[in-house]
Amino acid sequence: MRRLTWSVGLGLLVAVGTAGLGWWTVPIVGLGAGWLGRRRKDIALLTALGAGLAWGGLLAGLAWHAPLGPLLGRLAMLFALPAAGVVGLTVLFPMLLAWSAATLARRIGQWTMPAASQS
C-alpha cells in the first residue's frame, strides 16, 4: 500500500508540475523523490511509475478535449511507428527522466549520509 501511495503521490506532483510549468518538472520531482526516499531501494521504480501514470493521465485528458488522431498520424509517420508506439514513447520519456533523476539523487544521498545511519 505504501508503494501505491508513493507512486500516486509522485504522479500527482508530476502531473501538476507538468501542467503548470512544463516537462522539466519531471526530473526535478525525480531528484526530490530520490533524495527523500534514498533509503528505499525501489524509489527510482516508484518515481518512474508515478511519472508514467501522470503523463498517461495528461495524455488521456488531452485526448478527451482535443482530437489527437491527426497529430498521432503525423508523428507516427515521422517516427515510422504505429500510433500506439508514439503514445508509448510519450509515456516512456517521463518514466526514464524520473527514473534517472531519482537514481542519481538516491546515490548522492547515500554517499553523503553517514555510514552509521544507513539502513
pLDDT over 70 (residue 42): yes
Q: What is the pLDDT of residue 33?
A: 95
pLDDT over 60 (residue 119): no
Residue with cell 539523487: 105
Binning the chain into helix, strand and coil, the percentages to the nearest 5 are: 85, 0, 15
Return d(Cα 100, Cα 89) in angstroms, integer.
Answer: 16
Q: What is the pLDDT of residues 63-118, one digit of tens each?
A: 877 787 788 888 888 888 898 888 899 999 999 999 999 999 999 998 887 654 55
Return d(Cα 93, Cα 58) in angstroms, integer.
Answer: 13
